[in-house]
Structure 1
Amino acid sequence: MSKREQFTASIQKSYQTNKPTIHLGSAILEGEIIREASVNLPLKMMNRHGLIAGATGSGKTRTLQVFAEQLSAAGVPVFMSDIKGDLSGIAQPGKTNAALEERAKALGIDFVPKGFPVELYSLSGKLGSQMRATILEFGPVLLSKIFDLNDTQSGVLSILFKYADDKGLPMVDLNDLKKVLNYLSEGEGAKEIKADYGSISSSTAGTILRKIVALEQQGVNSIFGETSFDIDDLINKVDGQGVISLLNVSDVQDKPALFSTFMLSLLAELYSKLPEAGDLDKPKLVFFLDEAHLLFKDAPKAFQEQIEQVVRLIRSKGVGIFFCTQMSQDIPAAVLSQLGNRVQHVLRSFTPQDADALRQTVKTYPRSDYYTIDEVLTTLGIGQALVTVLNEKGIPTEVAATHLTPPRSIMGPMPQADYERQFNASDLYQKYKDPVDPESAYEILTKRMERVAQAEEEEKTSTKPARKIKEEPSMISEALSSPLAKQIGREVVRGIFGMLFGKTTTSRKKTGGLFGF
């Protein structure tokens, strides 16, 4: 048996399955595309998570597109960020050309242009349906990441959340957060919390306040508030095809901590709300985190540890996560070890740092009888990748340099007029377009402070003996009078990153949660 025949048999044995798969392409041996050596990823293994990595311009975005298309065709919903705004073309059929026909011929497939159902979202509300979350749902850990707070400042933020929990103060938007911060850092509020929570220094409060104001000035404070996004809207199908939800962040791409953290908050809420699913024939949802290194840049240890727990445990909810970045070293080792499927595009080795990263990457691949891994990784062409995945039995497959299948939809943004027409016609755009301003911490504390000031003024001006001031309604009873707070009273949904320091409510006792709160 020739080397080519041995290689083909080895790839077929490693990747062949009768179960539904993502068809990635055909393996390459010594520069030749072996069309019979088909490289497939079983849908059943998509919730074992994965990594798509490679240098800029190597074709990572198109690989994301191929994954999204085939998952949608298999009835699996997809959520992904659109960093540059060039993935919206998935909604429309592509156009054939000589290069695509040549690639399809080399792979032994037919290229049939096709569009897929797409839902467009944005954090500003200008490029798609508005995505929001309440301050309550974000919680102190994620907010600390967005505001770039140090440990001391993060601790103070946690105090604000605990106080709001204890006193029944629903924090919905940044105005609520600022009001609670101001109240607890001066006057009666500072005296009230001194014994049970500790004092908040004016300098720390001032720093946090400046961070909040800076975010407001950047024009992205609209992501905090009601109506908050319902994660059930991510798990939709149209005519049997999974909906591809695109979060267009091209207008906030200079604020990476914001959109990357927001996406993580969605993952946390998915974990919190979805029931246990066990091993499914295909996942309920696949989540693609593009520019994944932004999640981990300057992230505190506690933040990273919680990401690790999300990745490790959300698999049982039927959700798969794929990280997309340039270098595998961008992902912490504890997270990287949880990723069973790898699609590695070409790596450059122009600097000593690049060479060191290449050596580390090579060590993470299984031994191959057919490839010198370091040579392959630096000589792959555009639209080619080194692949190893888990087969349907959970066993790592043979390493395969793969000529990837092309996307069937437009490889770029859809025309602007079509884009605007699509998101304006969306039912979800109408659902989330208008913000709601319920009675929350800001209104409750403002009323309380006005009553206290009025009572003090009456006492000063009264010529009669001081009379006992009528006991004001408790903040808890005020909170419970608002419709929003009644809902929160029934169930606090802040994902696994929130309410770390609050008391255990009946709802939490029922649902448990990742940390038992």
Structure 2
Amino acid sequence: MAQDDSLFIGASRKPDDSYQAAERLLLKYANRHGLVTGATGTGKTVTLQILAEAFSNAGVPVFCADVKGDLSGIAAIGETKDFLTKRAETIRLDPYEFQEFPVIFWDLFGEKGHPIRATVSEMGPLLLSRLMNLTDAQEGVINIAFRIADEEGLLLLDMKDLQAMLVNIAERADEISKVYGNVSKASVGAIQRSLLVLEQQGGKHFFGEPALRIDDLMRTTRDGRGAISVLAADRLMMNPRLYATFLLWLLSELFEVLPEVGDPERPRLVFFFDEAHLLFDEAPKILLDRVEQVVRLIRSKGVGVYFVTQNPLDVPETVLSQLGNRIQHALRAYTPREQKAVKTAAETFRPNPDFDCATAITQLGVGEALVSTLEAKGVPSMVQRTLIRPPSSRLGPISEAEREKISAISPVAGQYDTPIDRESAFEKLQKRAAEAARAEEEATRRDEEEDRGEARTRWTLPDFDDRDDDRRARTTKRKTTRSRSSNRQSVTEAAVKSVVRSVGSSLGRALVRGILGSLKRGR
């Protein structure tokens, strides 16, 4: 049942409950985007899996997120199961062959695949503000930080670059406020606290280099199959804001990097956005406008975007109107909101006179869906109740050993595993601060020397005339002459002086004894 210009989705159910006609997705209109919705446990993940398999076999690279870990089985060959074989027979899928697919595993945390990184500059102030849930004033400070970094040639690559830039802005707040408007230290402090939270949630693993090259998501094998890039998102879902912002960044990068190709015969890349409601929850209008713009214009780049979510109401109407290919699994209709979702889903399909669409949505079994794709000239097909084909790859997750083996032979093995920390804003601002400290120290030293010089000049000496110098010279001469003459006395003179000293000493002692003796006798 293979065709070069379309993908086999499943077989539609006829009024007599038989499944005969094949439901297909034309590759020519696959870049017109799509929507896969349905309640938990109705088969959305398997539908995503069989679409990824079909696109890969058609030579179209695929990027998808593995939210629960179940999608990793697409890298392993399928296994015979009774219910899969029975479904293949029901929809007349002959032959039903098992197959493994070329998969590249990615992980923002680098644990279950190759690390994915982006620089702070690539993320941009808008997405960063969304990621940190900043106020308008704080977003303004982020914009100023990016503007000054551009003007001063400071690369913002990782989180420490942005943190250093914010510290620099806080120190220069008065100067910067005169040019760009008020920059309060309170706003800078709030952003720094948000950055700390983001870092603890894993942002430090995402921001940095080597940054992801879009080309590596668009690889094909030698036999012409498209690579399937699977993002491990089970841990990432613990921080849904980071997950949604990352995928939106990736879409934006695809939009900016890829050239215009119009409407190719097949897409250049298909992008599956699982748990799509996380992108739109509490999103500000400026972000919603950005999503709408990217979805509307990225089609001309040859990229198809498929949103996967539980409820069609999760997607804004402006985006929903851009999605031409739709697969609707069962919905529950117990609460007013669920009933509204059923009605909305039914109204988006081209009606089929054979059944009531709203009623059918609540009666679909596991693996069944209402399918409507774009036909010739881009016209939506009449909605059909369809039994989705069984996957050719393994149903369920692979083991950690299998994952490691696949990653070891990956075409990007070794390219992203080791982080790179080149000179950027953090290092340059450190050098700038060190140079300023040295200059300040040098200026302080010069000031101290000048102060000491001024202190010395406050004291003066008396202005004696030259006669005082002559007097000093004569006194020094006499002392020198006297010293030399005493040194030149003869041996005879020395002997006479010694005798005189001895006699004088003896005579003196005798006189003292005589006087003291007479005084004692007089008593």
Which TM-score bucket, shorter chain as reference? 0.7 to 0.9
Q: Counterpart of 1:168 in 2: which secondary structure? A: coil
State yes or no: 1:147 paired with 2:147: no
Q: 1:108 aligns with which of 92, 107, 119?
A: 92
TM-score (norm 2): 0.83
**Corresponding residue of 1:297:** 281
Distance 2:2 2:376 in 1: 8
Root-mean-square deviation (CA, aligned residues, Å) is: 1.7
Q: CA deviation at 1:124?
A: 0.4
Q: Distance in 2 between matches of 1:435 and 1:44?
A: 40
Matched, 1:85 2:69: yes
1:207 matched to 2:190: yes
Q: CA deviation at 1:85?
A: 1.6
Q: Secondary structure at the match of 1:253?
A: helix
- Report the Cα distance in structure 2 between the residues aligned to 1:134 and 1:18, rounded to whole angstroms: 41
Task: Indicate if the aligned counterparts of 2:349 and 2:382 stay in contact, CA closer than 8 A.
Answer: no
1:33 aligns with 2:21: no
2:167 maps to which of 182, 201, 222: 182
Question: 1:49-448 maps to which residues of 2 (within 5 A)?
Answer: 49-109=33-93, 110-186=95-171, 189-238=172-221, 239-448=223-432
Q: Distance in 2 between matches of 1:297 and 1:93?
A: 37
Contact 1:130–1:429 (CA under 8 A) maintained in structure 2: no
Q: CA deviation at 1:459?
A: 1.9
Q: Give the C-alpha shift of residue 18 in structure 1.
A: 7.2
Does structure 2 conserve the Cα–Cα contact (< 8 Å) formed by 1:120 and 1:423? yes
Superposed CA offset, 1:388-430 (max 9, x none): 1111320110110101111111111112211112113324231
- Match of 1:32, SS? coil
1:100–1:111 contact (8 Å) kept in structure 2: no
Superposed structure 1 runs of 4+ greater than 4 Å apart:
16-19
Which amino acid letter does the alignment assign opposite residue 160 of structure 2? N
Distance 2:66 2:135 in 1: 30
Distance 1:18 1:247, change over 3 A: closer
| Larger deviation, residues 77-86 vs 146-155 | 146-155
In 1, Cα distance between equivalents of 2:16 and 2:328 = 17
**CA displacement 1:464-500 (0-9 Å, x = unmatched):** 569xxxxxxxxxxxxxxxxxxxxxxxxxxxxxxxxxx
Change (3 A) 1:18 1:406: closer
Q: Structure 1: which amino acid aligns with 2:417?
A: K
- Answer whether contact 1:389 1:397 (CA < 8 A) is retained: yes
* Structure 1 residue identity aligned to 2:333: S
* Distance in 2 between residues matched to 1:345 and 1:113, nearest whole Å: 25
Question: CA contact under 8 A between 1:26 and 1:33: conserved in structure 2?
Answer: no
Structure 1 position 102, deviation (Å) = 1.0
Q: Comparing 449-458 with 247-256, which one deviates more in the overlay?
A: 449-458
Secondary structure of the 2:39 match is coil
2:487 alignment partner in structure 1: none
Q: In the TM superposition, what is the alpha-carbon distance from 1:453 to its structure 2 partner?
A: 2.2
The DSSP-based 3-state class of the residue aligned with 2:23 is strand
Shift of 1:200: 1.8
Q: Cα offset for 1:242?
A: 0.4
- Paired letter, 2:307: F
Structure 2 CA distance for partners of 1:107 and 1:290, relative to 1, 3 Å: same
Q: Deviations over 1:322-366 (max 9, x none)?
A: 000011110111111100010000010121221122222222222
Q: 1-side partners of 2:143 and 2:309: how far apart?
A: 31
Displacement of 1:19 in angstroms is 5.8
How far apart are the structure 2 equivalents of 1:276 and 1:367? 35
Stretches of structure 2 that go unaligned for 5 or more consecutive residues are: 452-523
**What residue ranges of structure 1 are gaps of 5+ in the alignment?**
1-15, 467-517
Q: Which shows bigger deviation, 386-395 or 313-322?
A: 386-395
Distance in 1, Cα, partners of 2:173 & 2:323: 47
Contact 1:133 1:225 in 2 (8 A): yes
1:452 is the counterpart of 2:419:
no
Task: Give aligned-pair identity as a percent.
Answer: 45
The 10-residue stretch of structure 1 (268-277 or 374-383) with the greater mean CA deviation from structure 2? 268-277
The whole-number CA distance in structure 2 between the counterparts of 1:209 and 1:104 is: 56
Q: Is the 8 A contact 1:140 1:154 kept in 2?
A: yes
1 or 2, which has the higher helix percentage?
Answer: 2
Task: State the alpha-carbon separation in 2 of the partners of residues 446 and 428 from structure 1.
Answer: 34
Query: Measured at CA, do residues 31 and 298 of structure 1 come closer, stay the same or move farther in structure 2, by a change above 3 Å?
Result: farther
Q: For residue 167 of structure 1, report the CA deviation from its aligned partner.
A: 1.4
Distance in structure 2 (CA, Å) of the matches to 1:18 and 1:92: 24
| Contact 1:133–1:226 (CA under 8 A) maintained in structure 2 | yes
* Alpha carbons 1:121, 1:128 under 8 Å: kept: yes
On the 8 A contact 2:2/2:8 being kept in 1, the answer is no
Give the TM-score normalised by structure 1: 0.84
